[in-house]
Homo-oligomer: A and B are copies of this chain.
Amino acid sequence: MNIGEAAKASGVTAKMIRYYESTGLLRPAVRRSNGYRDYGAVDVHELRFIRRARGLGFDMAEIAELLSLWRDRDRASRDVHRVASGHIDVLQTRIAELKGMVDTLSTLVACCHGDGRPDCPILSDLGGGIDTGQPLERAKRR
């Protein structure tokens, strides 16, 4: 199977398949005599695995760990459980952060009359907001 077919079959772009290989997440694909990568059913299965895990917000490091557990027929489900639970915690922290932002913003928006007049509590707050003096917390990514 060519990379394009594997891409269609897995829902992972050819671009990303090569990238995953380059970072070591995937083992180097078998090459045919013409240099083309050759994929089989197992590879497509792994690609689907990665795609699904990405959709659940796991990052590459976590996926590498999950993938190696997945390949190991003797893994302990405890390990998988741990990775997944840890990820839920991260997601929930992120949700809480976002909710905090929404709360603050909603309050401000509700106080702003939103018409042609220039006075606006949203800008007043941004300009004079309570300042902790601490460096801005580094943004978390999915």
Please give the residue numbers on chain A whose beta carbons come within 8 Å of chain B beta carbons, in ascending order. Answer: 11-13, 45, 48-49, 51-57, 66, 69-70, 72-78, 80-82, 84-85, 87-88, 91-92, 94-95, 98-99, 101-102, 104-106, 108-109, 112-120, 122-123, 125-129, 131-137, 139-142
Name A119's contact: one of B13, B57, B77, B109 (CB within 8 Å): B77
Contact in complex: B126, A74 (CB < 8 Å): no
Name A136's contact: one of B12, B78, B117 (CB within 8 Å): B12
Per the bound structure, the CA–CA distance linking A78 and B115 in Å amounts to: 5
Name A118's contact: one of B74, B118, B126 (CB within 8 Å): B74
- Distance (whole angstroms) from the CB of A83 to the closest CB of chain B: 8
